[in-house]
Structure 1
Amino acid sequence: MNLEKILAISGKPGLYVLKVQTRTGFVAESLIDGKKITVNLKSNVSLLSEISIYTYEGEKPLTEVMQIIAKKEKNGQAISHKEDNAALTAYFKEILPDFDEERVYPSDIKKVLNWYNTLQAKGLVTDLAPAPAETAEKAPVVEEKPKKAPAAKKAKAKKEE
């Protein structure tokens, strides 16, 4: 598994795996407790594969940042996201020396480390690098077509004229 189907849902703790896409949203399974939830299209959802960290040269994809953490920790747990802000910033400086300190807040560092440790606990850290075939085939985007007004209402409107 790679980060292509891992989600962070605003207002919901932890990470989720995208299971099934439906007409009105999708079904996701929690990585923490395995419970499935339905998420509508109005929810604020982020794919981890789409998230980047600001650096002075540009942006670094979250997948690469997590690979650096995994390499440093030899695929083990990183420091806890509950450490004080100074310790978190110092740790992040070790793994990503050129991160933009003005645009990357301690809360962002906490999220990244919490997400990494969650993925590591589930044994998904070794699979963070996307396979070339998986990168080429992305899930198709389904567009909803606007609904047409029922024919009976159209006929009634004509009669009233």
Structure 2
Amino acid sequence: MNLQGIVAVSGKPGLWRALAQNKTGYVLESLDAQKTKLVANLSTAKLAALTEITIFGIEDDIRLTDVFEQMKAAANVPDAKADGKKMRAFFYEVAPDHDEEKVYASDMKKILTWFHILKDLPAFNEADPTQAPAPEAAPAEVEEPVAEVVATEPEPAPAPKAKAKKATKKAE
């Protein structure tokens, strides 16, 4: 999935696509049907790129993009307005190592809302250009025969030339 340039803005609902950058911040466009434009000032607004967001895990943090991949593969993704127990059960399917005490119902609602916004975008189904291709997709390397190298004695380096000193005559 290619989520480059998609951000969440604190205090603003939904997701935004970064269109351009100016001296004071970013020009953003909402991903909803209205396509609202917004200039987010870097000194007042907090932007979070979706590719950088993680979820609290028991051992290690879980990347949001990994959770979205699991959600794409899931058969039945609940609505963001679903019961808290149903959302928690779903999160145990897609992110079994999430920390139950630190991941709140509001976090799960936000992630589900974001997933429902993103799932219809063409970029959501594209490959991420920053990720390396899967090992199965990599072409098999062909081993070429190595040419035999014959060792020879290196030629001696030429001796450095002595610098000629210029004689200067002082004017009397």
Tell me the TM-score range normalised by the shorter chain: 0.7 to 0.9
Q: How does 1:65-104 map to 2 (within 5 A)?
A: 65-73=67-75, 78-104=77-103
Residue 11 (structure 2) pairs with residue 11 (structure 1): yes
Aligned twin of 1:62: 64
Tell me if structure 2 keeps the 8 A contact 1:78–1:116.
no
Tell me if structure 1 keeps the 8 A contact 2:3–2:123.
no
Check 1:124–1:78 CA distance in 2 against 1; reply closer, same or farther (3 A cut): farther
Percentage identity across paired residues of the two chains: 38
| Amino acid corresponding to residue 19 of structure 1 in structure 2 | L
CA deviation map 1:64-99 (0-9, x unaligned): 1101111124xxx72101001111001111111111
CA distance in 1, matches of 2:103, 2:30: 26
Tell me if structure 1 keeps the 8 A contact 2:52–2:63.
yes
1:114 deviates by 0.6
Aligned twin of 2:52: 50
What stretches of structure 1 of length at least 5 have no aligned partner?
Answer: 135-161
How many residues get paired? Answer: 130
Hey, which of these two has a bigger chunk of helix by percent? Answer: 1
Normalising by structure 2, report the TM-score: 0.70
Aligned twin of 2:37: 36
Aligned twin of 2:111: 112
Check 1:60–1:133 CA distance in 2 against 1; reply closer, same or farther (3 A cut): closer
CA deviation map 1:36-56 (0-9, x unaligned): 111111202111111001111
CA distance in 2, matches of 1:34, 1:11: 18
CA deviation map 1:84-117 (0-9, x unaligned): 1111001111111111101111111111111011
1:5 deviates by 0.8
Bigger CA radius of gyration: 2
What stretches of structure 2 of length at least 5 have no aligned partner?
Answer: 133-172
Tell me if structure 1 keeps the 8 A contact 2:3–2:124.
no
